[in-house]
Amino acid sequence: MAMSETLAKKFGYSEKVMDHFKNPRNVGVMEDADVTSKVGSVACGDLIKLYLKFDPDRDQIKDIKFESYGCAANIATSSMMTEMVKGKTIEEARKVTFKDISETLGGLPRIKLHCAVLSRQGLETAFLKYEAKRGRVKMDEPFVNKILRGVLDPVQGVDIISAKILQGTKIEGNKITLDLKAKPDSELAESLTEDIHDAFEGLDVDLDLRFKE
Amino acid sequence: MPCVQPGRFSLSQPVDSEGNKQRVVYLDNAETTRLDPAVLDLVEEFMIDKYGVPAGEFGYKLEEEAGEAIEQARETIARKINASPEEVIFTSGGTESSNIAILGAARSNYYKGKRLITSKIEHTSILRIVDKLTTQGFEKTQLDVDRQGFVDPSSLKANLENARLMSVQHANQEIGTLQDVAAIGEIARNSGVLFHCDAVQSFAKERIDVQTMKVDLLSMSSHLIHGPKGVGALYVRDGVKLEPILEGDGREKGLRPGTPNVAGIVGFAKAAELLTDEDALRMRRLRDELIGSLLAVPDSRLNGPKGDRRLCNNVNVSFRFVEGEAILMHLDLKGLVVNSGSACYSQKLEPSHVIRAIGGTLEESHSSTRLSLSKWTTKEDLVYATETVKQVVETLRAHSPLARRAYQRK
């Protein structure tokens, strides 16, 4: 198809990327997921939500699904990532790198590599939440930080810790208080509130977000 | 005579994997347009048969022909904007026209101030020229626009101190807002500030009268009105002083030296002639139908104004919960060519500065989809476009976590 070749070429998308974009695998919602993870942000135009079901005896990914708000590369990398890790144990799946995802897709344009990073990040966050739910990791500051690495500063497109938006963390039992640098009631604060709540979805935590400029 | 074979203008139709011809509907006419076949005839004539360039006072026939043709073209362009022919110079296009106007005014008129005023939604090329000048001792003021993209002319008044030039476009390239140029021109003229107007999107499509609009400098382009690429014009009001940005022979009042693009200039004028008020009227009607049918898609929003203050061929709609690049890729697969303000669609990963300036959310800028009509766009094209857009938005929303959550809430 001449026209589509033009646009795909313009972006430097491989045939495989286009195939996964047009016919995404494992796409949709999973009602009975063991864990979910949401990484990226609406503001960046790049967001995915993952649903995973595990075989608890072997820590094996029995099923994985994704939903996407993002560009063709976002859809294709998520689709490929789910294909590559489905059926694998957590230990095996952790060996799949974002480069593996990109290479299996026949390569990604440089400016779209972050999509592969995002899908890999989504997976890691899901594993972390699974382990927390099974009581294998403590919900301490390092854990909270790892979860928050999936929440992006919409302006700079980097996670809110690197962007120095996260100014302080206090954890008492299951109550997590976060101090965030953003004007209260601003577009940024609103977007961060939604993203942070989504990041912790499914975990037994009580979030208190405090915005200050 | 140029040899024009019948059928040479039919768009070659793409073929899918099964060998079926694929329908292509091109709705990206704010990016560029297809050449009018009648223009091609003339361009060919001036490339093959009448290939001279105007020379000095006494020329050969070839040179005379070229010279006369250019002067005729100048008259045509001047008539379209109610200027006199001496006030029109030919350039390589809109970008060059605006460079000559803004850089030329900055490097001349030293008695005036050092402030350059634009709106926040000017074309990137204008914003860049002004940015460049801020590294050379100029200050810039970017005027806010309202939710529809309008500059409040009274906001100009507050910024006149030390101003040398203001550059405010006629029609916006993304959302089609038509500024109240006459009101802006009035303020500029009364305060002695030069007024440049980028009319690249509106020239020959919307009525322009440089007298009543009180414009000093006006940029025009050929390739957006079915003329050849690489040619445009700049209106320079009689008496306005500009320093040339290129040095060379004295052609085009010394402002645009070099061998003129005769065939391009002749083609440009022909294209301007061939785009009529009736064409504009028809596009306006079709535009409103398209806006109506796209706004029937749930959670969609029109960017830019409705009615007479919108450019006749511009439609721009944002669809919530889906991302623009993905929309465009799917539409492209179905043979529908449009444009997007999405950050992912821009190679710099920056969302549309226009949607942001009108107060649109980042989500709205990511999914802003521009469909721009031409004089050849048909009702059938728009029916196909609407159906295709609806389908694609539905497909993407079916897998969007944002859409699912919003619709669950409802």
Q: What DSSP letter does each residue of B72-108 carry, written as one string?
A: HHHHHHHHHTT--GGGEEEESSHHHHHHHHHHHHHTS
Burial track B377-392 (b if 16+ CB lie within 10 A, e otherwise): beeebbebbbebbbeb
Contact assignment for A43 to B404 by CB distance below 8 Å? no
Residue B115 pLDDT grade (very low, low, confident, very high; cuts 50, 70, 90): very high
Q: A57, A50 in Cβ contact below 8 A?
A: no
Residue closest to A151 by CA, chosen among A175, A169, A137, A174: A169
pLDDT single digits (tens) B196-253? 999 999 999 999 999 999 999 999 999 999 999 999 999 999 999 999 999 998 899 9
- Residues A89 and A64 occupy one common structural domain: yes
Which residues of chain A does B322 touch, with a Cβ-Cβ cutoff of 8 Å?
69
pLDDT single digits (tens) A56-93? 999 999 999 999 999 999 999 999 999 999 999 999 99
Q: What is the mean pLDDT of residues A145-174?
A: 88
- Residues A29 and A88 occupy one common structural domain: yes
User: Does 3.90.1150.10 match the CATH number of domain B25-30+276-409?
Assistant: yes
Q: Say how many residues make up chain B.
A: 410
Decide if pLDDT at A142 tops 50.
yes
Distance from CA of A172 to the nearest CA of B (A): 30
How many whole angstroms separate alpha carbon B200 and alpha carbon B229? 13
Residue A101 pLDDT grade (very low, low, confident, very high; cuts 50, 70, 90): very high
For chain A, the first-to-last Cα distance in angstroms comes to: 51
Residue A152 pLDDT grade (very low, low, confident, very high; cuts 50, 70, 90): confident
Q: Into how many domains does chain A fold?
A: 2
Contact assignment for B351 to A24 by CB distance below 8 Å? no
Q: Which residue has the higher pLDDT, A5 or A14?
A: A14
Q: B198, B139 in Cβ contact below 8 A?
A: no
Three-state SS for B196?
strand
DSSP assigned state of B13: P
- Residues A121 and A208 occupy one common structural domain: no
- Angle at which helices B37-44 and B262-274 pack, to 10 degrees? 150
Residue B59 pLDDT grade (very low, low, confident, very high; cuts 50, 70, 90): low
Contact assignment for A68 to B325 by CB distance below 8 Å? no
Residue B78 pLDDT grade (very low, low, confident, very high; cuts 50, 70, 90): very high
CA angle B260, B264, B266 (to 5 degrees): 95
Tokens matching residue B362: 């980042």
Decide if pLDDT at B22 tops 70.
yes
Please tell me the predicted confidence (pLDDT) of residue B58: 60
What is the percentage of chain B residues whose pLDDT exceeds 90?
A: 83
Q: Please count the CA atoms within 13 angstroms of the CA of B211 that sit on its side-chain side.
A: 7
- Residues A120 and A40 occupy one common structural domain: yes
Q: What is the mean pLDDT of residues B19-45?
A: 92
Of the three residues A137, A164, A198, the one that is the final residue of a domain is A137
pLDDT single digits (tens) A177-189? 999 999 999 988 9
Decide if pLDDT at B394 tops 60.
yes
How many whole angstroms separate alpha carbon B287 and alpha carbon B350? 28
- Residues A39 and A109 occupy one common structural domain: yes
Residue B13 pLDDT grade (very low, low, confident, very high; cuts 50, 70, 90): low
Distance from CA of B17 to the nearest CA of A (A): 7
Please tell me the predicted confidence (pLDDT) of residue A158: 81
- Residues A59 and A131 occupy one common structural domain: yes
Decide if pLDDT at B4 tops 60.
no
- Residues A173 and A191 occupy one common structural domain: yes
Q: DSSP per residue over B320-355, as a string?
A: TTS-HHHHHHHHHHTTEE-EE--TTTSTT----HHH
CATH number at residue A147: 3.30.300.130
- Using CB atoms, pick whichever of A42, A111, A157 lies closest to residue B402: A42
Entry pTM: 0.91
Distance from CA of B350 to the nearest CA of A (A): 9
- Residues A124 and A25 occupy one common structural domain: yes
- Residues A131 and A148 occupy one common structural domain: no
Contact assignment for A2 to B342 by CB distance below 8 Å? no
CATH number at residue A133: 3.90.1010.10
Q: A205, A183 in Cβ contact below 8 A?
A: no
Please tell me the predicted confidence (pLDDT) of residue B18: 66
pLDDT single digits (tens) B289-345? 999 999 999 999 999 999 999 999 999 999 999 999 999 999 999 999 999 988 777
- A145 lies in which domain range? 138-213
Residue closest to B72 by CA, chosen among B59, B60, B88, B56: B88
User: Does 3.40.640.10 match the CATH number of domain B39-274?
Assistant: yes
Q: DSSP per residue over A122-138, as a string?
A: HHHHHHHHHHHHTTSS-
How many whole angstroms separate alpha carbon B293 and alpha carbon B288? 9
Domain B25-30+276-409 identical in fold to domain B39-274: no
Of the three residues A137, A159, A191, the one that is the final residue of a domain is A137
Which residues of chain A does B362 touch, with a Cβ-Cβ cutoff of 8 Å?
42-45, 154, 187
Relative to beta strand A175-181, strand A206-212 is parallel
Please tell me the predicted confidence (pLDDT) of residue A2: 42
Three-state SS for B118?
strand
Tokens matching residue B385: 């476009």
How high does pLDDT run on average in chain B? 92
Q: B69, B305 in Cβ contact below 8 A?
A: no
- Residues A142 and A122 occupy one common structural domain: no
What is the CA A86 to chain-centroid distance, rounded? 16
Decide if pLDDT at A165 tops 80.
yes
Q: Which residue has the higher pLDDT, A7 or B306?
A: B306
Q: What is the mean pLDDT of residues B10-20?
A: 57
Please tell me the predicted confidence (pLDDT) of residue B45: 96
The residue ranges of every structural domain in chain B are: 25-30+276-409, 39-274
Q: A39, A81 in Cβ contact below 8 A?
A: no
CA-based nearest residue in chain B for residue A39: B401
Q: B231, B185 in Cβ contact below 8 A?
A: no
Q: What is the mean pLDDT of residues A19-39?
A: 96
What is the percentage of chain B residues whose pLDDT exceeds 70?
A: 93
- Residues A12 and A22 occupy one common structural domain: yes
Tokens matching residue B18: 């099964």
Kindly list the residues of chain B whose beta carbon comes within 8 Å of any beta carbon in chain A.
Answer: 12, 14-17, 22, 24, 321-326, 328-329, 332-333, 335, 337, 342-345, 347, 349, 351, 361-363, 366, 399-402, 404
